[in-house]
Amino acid sequence: MFKKVVIPLIAAILLAVTLSGTALAAEGDHPELLKARGEVIAVDPAAGKFRIEKSDGTVLTFFVNEDTNYRGLESLAEMQVGWKAGVAAREDEDGKSWAVLVIAGDTSNFNQVRGKVIDVNTSAGKFAIETPDGTEMRFFVDEKTRYGGQISSLEELEVGMGAGVVYTEHGEGKLIAVGLIAGSAPELIKAKGEVTAVDANLGKFEIVTGDGTRMRFFVDEKTRYQGQLSSLKEMQVGWQAGVTAKEGDDGKPIAVLVIAGIRPETIRAEGIIVGVD
């Protein structure tokens, strides 16, 4: 029973922290996606769609398909009205928003907060964070605490990491972490442009940005592809491309996300691929 409750709560942390862009590099940064969070107000599994209402009253409809990923629930059939949900979606040519990732769960009986880790005491099973408004909060973990992001235990938590916490408050005022997700977000490089050369064998390509800047990127097994390609081998000269990259340990820019295709309107990041030596 506990696992069924905690998984949606961990999802809620991902919703509160990751989708707001505060922490968790593990979730990545995808500027081409529409991201929204709010309360589920309608679910229609048969039609493969659901609606959420954002905090400003905006109502959004999302559609799901076989490519939709879920966290906190196995499928749309499990979603319930009243749950909190976070959605990352892509809009098609007809204006429909297709959910790429759905994070949802019931958080009514729990509290959640985000901030930066300022202290970790593994021997005492506790840690502290500083919230965006400067408040310091201290939490304890136990054998039921669940972890996510870039950590799998309190021992891996580091001062300076961004963190999201789902917690309960005991009668004596002690805060117990039910879920803890933390990570260090890398500095990201973003570029877009036109493909002029690709070297799939060496796993690299170059782009020239709109102002003529030449940039080279490398790919690895973790690079994600979207648009009209599923690997670097499928990229073609003349395509429009968008790249989100991070600096590797050796200083080389490693592409985290490559979006490329024939239609310029499908590209929403910055840079132009121009050549590879």
- Give me the residue spans of the domains in the chain: 2-105, 111-183, 188-266
Q: Inform me whether the pLDDT recorded for 14 exceeds 80.
A: no
11 vs 257 pLDDT, higher one: 257
Please tell me the least confidently modeled range out of 49-53, 193-197, 254-258, 261-265. 261-265
May I ask the CATH architecture of the domain 2-105?
Beta Barrel (2.40)
Judge: domain 188-266, CATH 2.40.50.320: yes
- Report the pLDDT value the prediction gives residue 21, as an integer from 0 to 100: 41
Pick the CATH number of 111-183 from 3.20.20.70, 2.40.50.320, 1.20.810.10, 2.160.20.10: 2.40.50.320
CATH topology of 2-105 equal to that of 111-183? Answer: yes
Q: Inform me whether the pLDDT recorded for 196 exceeds 80.
A: yes
Please tell me the least confidently modeled range out of 88-97, 188-197, 246-255, 263-272. 263-272
User: In which band, very low, low, confident or very high, does the pLDDT at 123 lie, cut at 50, 70 and 90?
Assistant: very high
Category of 61 on φ-ψ map: left (φ > 0), alpha (ψ -120 to 50) or beta:
beta
Do residues 218 and 254 lie in contact, with contact meaning Cβ atoms separated by under 8 Å?
A: yes
- Report the pLDDT value the prediction gives residue 31, as an integer from 0 to 100: 57
Mean pLDDT within 136-142: 95
Q: Inform me whether the pLDDT recorded for 13 exceeds 70.
A: no
In angstroms, the CA 111 to CA 131 distance is: 14
Token digits for 151? 């950590």
Q: Inform me whether the pLDDT recorded for 258 exceeds 80.
A: yes
Q: Inform me whether the pLDDT recorded for 18 exceeds 60.
A: no
Please tell me the least confidently modeled range out of 25-29, 103-107, 258-262. 25-29
Q: Report how many helices (DSSP H) and strands (DSSP E) the chain contains, helices first.
A: 1, 19
pTM: predicted TM-score of the whole model, two decimal places: 0.44
